[in-house]
Amino acid sequence: MRTSTLVAASAGTLITGLLAYALYFDHKRQTDPDFRKSLKRNNRRLARAVKEEVEAQGAMEREYIKKAVQQAKEEGFPTDLEEKEAYFMGQVAKGESLCSEGADKLEAAMCFYKALKVYPQPKDLISIYDKTVPKEVLEILAEMVALDAGLDLGSFTGGPGESSGTEQVE
């Protein structure tokens, strides 16, 4: 018997076996109620595990953002007008370069947050950020702003009749 005939027969047998298994599995999936229940149960378990993992990752990210904001507050911000201007320009440039590189989104958001802290009209700067900053970075920045009660954003922090956040006690 030739080698090519043996290889072809083996391949044909293997393919036939795989096809038969697929047909058996499909038939069992469609007709056996216990098998269908176990498949659904496994799918629910997998979905629940994925959901829990995403929630845990989100909580970890929020905690990391909280620590980064706290660290930025502890480092302090410039008070002199010229220093503020230079600091603002440097932070915005660094944030834009990080966004264009697709690098660490948290680091880019931190740069924009620091620039926002020294800008005289943060409300105006946020409207500019809405148009220029990528959505993922903007979402992180929004969390940072929400964590900072000392940042005066006027109408951006609450509805009508609510305080702007500057009157809150930490």
- In angstroms, the CA 77 to CA 15 distance is 69
pLDDT tens readout for residues 72-98:
888 888 888 888 899 999 999 998 888
Q: How confident is the model at residue 19 (pLDDT cuts 50, 70, 90)?
A: very high
pLDDT tens readout for residues 101-145:
877 888 889 999 989 888 888 888 888 888 888 888 888 888 888
The answer to whether 153 touches 165, Cβ cutoff 8 Å, is yes
Of 134, 74, 68, 70, the closest CA to residue 107 belongs to 68
Q: What one-character DSSP code corresponds to residue 152?
A: -
Ranges 15-24, 25-34, 51-60, 155-164: which has the least confidence: 155-164
Work out the burial of residue 149: count CB atoms within 10 Å of its CB; fewer than 13 is exposed, 13-18 middle, 19 or more buried. Answer: middle
Most confident range, picked from 5-14, 20-29, 129-138: 5-14
The answer to whether 107 touches 140, Cβ cutoff 8 Å, is no
Q: And the tokens for 86?
A: 């230079």
- Total-model pTM: 0.60
Q: Where are the domains of the chain?
A: 3-31, 44-156
Q: How confident is the model at residue 154 (pLDDT cuts 50, 70, 90)?
A: low
* Residue whose tokens read 């320009």: 89
